Structure 1
Amino acid sequence: MNHNQGVEKGCGAGRNGAVLDVNGRWIPCRHLMTPEEYPTPEAYWWHSHLLQHLRQHEDERDTACQACSFQAHCLLCRAAGHDYLCSLV
């Protein structure tokens, strides 16, 4: 019984951290190469449309995920995207 819940569950992109690339641009994690420019960490954290989209990922789950009994304890890696095959399905 995995109780991996809250901001610490699954993928943390846009939830519990972000990364600054070598060019000074912000990315949600080192696996999602989607750089954005914001003047401060706070501006990026609160105003990035990409981070907002990542935080709403649970609302956009596919049918197999919605029917899974583990869905409350799962947050897939966004870098894997639709290529990820869940071993539980």
Structure 2
Amino acid sequence: MNKIMLIVINVITGLFVGINTLIGYGLSGIGEGSTNNIRIFMLMVIWVVGLILQLTLANKLIGLVITFIPVIFLILLYTAAYLDWG
């Protein structure tokens, strides 16, 4: 994979996960039942672990997959809220 494309993907996914983590932390106590803050911060921790694995040559593909886990989770969460699945 092209190095510039990998950097662009990491910046976009990092901003997406980071902004949603901060928004989730800020809004966690507003609803009927509050979410534990550690669960919200785990999304960012998982993304950082994926980024660290991408920096090693042997684990680049595994790191890319782990980086997309929080992104896919957040997209599914927004889709479920929009379509009223839950």
Q: TM-score by structure 1 length?
A: 0.33
Which structure would you say has the larger RCO, counting Cα contacts within 8 Å and 6 or more residues apart? 1
Higher helix share: 2
Higher strand share: 1
